[in-house]
A and B are shown apart, each in its own frame.
Chain A
Amino acid sequence: MDPILENSITLERMLALYEANRQVLSADDTPILSGIRENAFISLGKLRFPDTKMEAWRHTDLKESLGRGYDYYLHPTKETDIQKVFRCNIPHLDTAIIGQLNGWYVSKDVPLMELGNGIIMGSLAEAKKKYPALIEKYYGQAAHDTEEVFTALNTAFEQDGVFIYVPAGVKSPKPVQMINVIQHPENIFLQSRNLIVVGDDAQLSLVHCDDSYNHQGSFSNIVTEVFLGRNAYLDHYKLQNINNNSTLISSIYFKIESAANLESHYLSLNGGLLRNNIRALFNGPHGNANLYGLYLMDRKQHIDNHVVVDHASPECTSNEIFKGILDENARGVFNGHVLVRRNAAKTDARQTNKNILLTDNARINSEPFLEIYHDDVKCSHGSTTGQLDTEAMFYLRQRGISEESARMLLMFAFADEVVAKIAIPQLRQRIEDMVKKRLQGELRICEQCVLHCSTPEKPLEFRVDVSKI
């Protein structure tokens, strides 16, 4: 089938597309979901696409990204050879793998996996049909921000994505890996929507990757809603490794109930323009959220992490550590916003952003904000930008380590503060290897999924048996 749009993305075009395809878009919706979609469309009409005059987009210019021509489809793109696309991952049967191709859930023969312990994983579109009550309970409850144009756009247009449900008290036996692969012969615009529910006292490890398999440009607008029930635990990893012609707007909304624990990692290794909108809301007391970010950018790559931690409940703790190394003409933006509301007594919030610039053409904008309306809190933030520690460098050189190796070692150590937080040992090992390769400049995007194999003929040699992940 043909794409319904073969042009640059403008709000007018999208609004018109919506009007013309209302029926197709809401085919799987219940009336309530359809209402949410319609509301998003209405707010979309009042918004405009970001420009650099908007405070939240001051350092990230989307003009070029949006201005390229993209194909947009209202149905899954042709799956040429799924086996080939997910070749690297299929053998790892130990990980529950959820595949997405251009935002659409793959393997339609099993659209929804229902594991014996009550865990449900699969296509969101299918889940809407099969578990309407469950979806209605959560869908749109965390990402109800009508001011965010890309969230509204996604809500109006989303047709598929991933749904994961871990019922109360259940511990997911193995990590779940969501892999969204972008592969299309033309530039493609995609919007997918994920809904992840971790019930009361439940536990889940989730690895979420965005990969591109070729050099074609793409524009991804992905919204993920995550609900953590009372005392729930989520260990979340977001790996971003797409080609330099691709733009990724990833908005992730966490709603954290009382005493729940969130560990969330953002590892941005490659990408033309990456924007992470991370929102964590404490909806009950005693919650804890640790957010870690690592970005290694070079060439003209652009990374923008916008993190809002909303302490709406008392006695919650949050800790953000975002570190980045920027090489060549890369640009990095960190905007952290900790909001401590009037009732949030005994909040403990920390925010750290550290950057290393390797060239005079790299640039960083660091904006760690604190907005505090309660006195009984402990809040701090720190931001540093500089180079490698000269004393440490001297120490290493003095011991006969070459400048090159010493630099590498120090950069690796810098990144390790974030990498060391990865709780899955095999994944940590793999990321360590990737960081090393990235720092050595070996990890340039190739024809194949860089996460798994550097060239199709010569698979990457990892010291650890990846199949055990």
Chain B
Amino acid sequence: MEPDSDKIIDQVTRQDYKYGFVTDIETEFAPRGLTEDTIRYISSRKNEPEFLLEFRLKAFRRWLTMKQPTWAHLTIDPINFQDIIYYASPKKKKEVAGLDQVDPELLATFNKLGISLEEQKKLAGVAVDAVMDSVSVKTTFSETLSKYGIIFCSFSEAVLKHPDLVRQYMGSVVPYTDNYFAALNSAVFSDGSFCYIPKGVRCPMGLSTYFRINAANTGQFERTLIIADEGAYVSYMEGCTAPQRDENQLHAAIVEIIAMKDAEVKYSTVQNWYPGNKEGRGGIYNFVTKRGICKGSNSKISWTQVETGSAITWKYPGCILLGDNSVGEFYSVAVTNNHQQADTGSKMQHLGKNTHSTIISKGISAGKSNNSYRGLVRISKNAINSRNYSQCDSLLLGSSCGAHTFPYIQVENKSSIVEHEATTSKISEDQLFYCQQRGIDAESAIGLIVNGYAKEVLKQLPLEFAVEAQKLLSVSLEGSVG
């Protein structure tokens, strides 16, 4: 394309990561490195019951026998797991009872991120659980929610207050043996969110978790557990940011969702971890295991993700469709720019009868980045009359990036139908010309076209997120068309 637009691309992609600030908060750390002692330290800091410590130690021992996977289409610099601080928490003086008692620095941080806890509480009507470094700092709206019997709190709190629920469900969807990073997380996870929606309750507001890595040299290992009991409904949102640092930081999280009979869970993510600078220095390694299980019949789990951040993304939110007639959905927009790498997609395991799944993945690569879709659709022998439709489109902006598609399809019965299609293209010059001819400058035109391209996914996002996601898309991409 014309050199003009190259220039624009350059200018726009030079835009800085605006969440790259560091907040000066007193933080206490676990000693650097990972041994059984580190795990005991974390566990004792959190006053955890014995079963959890056992779980952690089992996971740790298993982790020691595992090897970091190399199959993804990613180049990962070796990670020194002994050079990471596995636990960092903003120092708390006492139990926080209300927002006014929260460290003002902390509140300022979240306000800066555009997630004013206060504001959210009053205006948006979204209950927020904010996780800074490793520890959940504040959960809003817990009281309102508790009227409905909904439990929404930090994971640590759930461990202490609802140990039975935690014990029953933790690790039931993502066992600690699942993969290398899941084992690591199971050993060292520090906090996260916990959510339980009781039978027949439709959660009156969106629930949201906000993750923030603040301290240097730390890794973040949070764990989210969502249980939707029979007939329950919840929409859950997750957002994340991190400061700009030269070294790579590791984020290895686990999200587990359990949907019982007739339940529905909608999980939306806007992932905006620090992606590293233009030369590919720094940035977050985002190695996340997310999985939901449609345990009961007619249940539904829907994943929507907008991935713009992280130096390296490795995540495959998936659904185990165990209940008959259950539905799994995955909508994704993954944007990579500069030296970012992403290997992301979905896993749909059809086990129950008449199960349906949909995968819509839109990859956009620019700069020198590599963006891969990797997805599994498996229809087992008993999953008769099942149906999957996958569509994976890639958009390449510029000639030094890469866009790849790696679908894995396995069908084991005769009554199911699986369809997969993918296309790869660049922004059409006709479309660009059309917009420009009507007085829209190249940059806005590209933003418009990209947003249009991703619309199918963006429209799945809850309103609160859709605006942010659209803005993010333009920021990440503006001008990157060449």
Contacts and interface: CB of A to CB of B under 8 A. Distances in A.
Contacts of A55: 71
A223 to B, nearest CB: 27
Interface in A181-210: none
Contact of A372 (B384, B396, B407): B396
Contact of B415 (A342, A370, A387): A387
Nearest to B388: A385
Interface string B419-434: 1111111100000000
Given A360-B412, A370-B405, A383 B399 contact: no
B404 A372 contact: yes
Contacts of A467: none
Contacts of B43: none
17 contacts: A355-B411, A357-B411, A357-B413, A359-B414, A366-B420, A369-B406, A370-B404, A373-B402, A375-B397, A375-B482, A376-B426, A379-B423, A381-B405, A383-B407, A383-B418, A383-B420, A385-B416
Contacts of A23: none
A380 interface: yes
Given A358-B414, A363-B410, A363-B411, A381 B421 contact: yes
B414 A368 contact: no
A382 interface: yes
Interface in A373-400: 373-387
Contacts of A226: none
Contact of B416 (A358, A369, A374, A386): A386
Nearest to A333: B410
Interface of B: 71, 73, 381, 384, 394, 396-426, 482
Task: Say what secondary structure dominates the interface of chain A.
Answer: strand
A316 B407 CA distance: 24
A342 B413 CA distance: 40
A378 to B, nearest CB: 7
Contacts of B71: 55
Contact of B409 (A358, A359, A360, A385): A385
Given A370-B405, A376-B426, 16 more contacts: A359-B414, A362-B414, A366-B407, A366-B410, A367-B406, A368-B405, A370-B394, A372-B394, A372-B396, A373-B402, A376-B399, A380-B424, A383-B407, A384-B417, A384-B419, A385-B417
B410 to A, nearest CB: 5
Contacts of B412: 360, 362-363
A377 B419 CA distance: 23
Contacts of A10: none
A371 interface: yes
Nearest to A363: B412
Nearest to A365: B410
Interface in A327-375: 342, 345, 355, 357-375
B409 A366 contact: yes
Contacts of B414: 357-360, 362, 387
A376 B1 CA distance: 10
A196 B390 CA distance: 40
A252 to B, nearest CB: 24
A364 B418 CA distance: 11
Contact of B421 (A342, A358, A367, A380): A380
Nearest to B405: A370
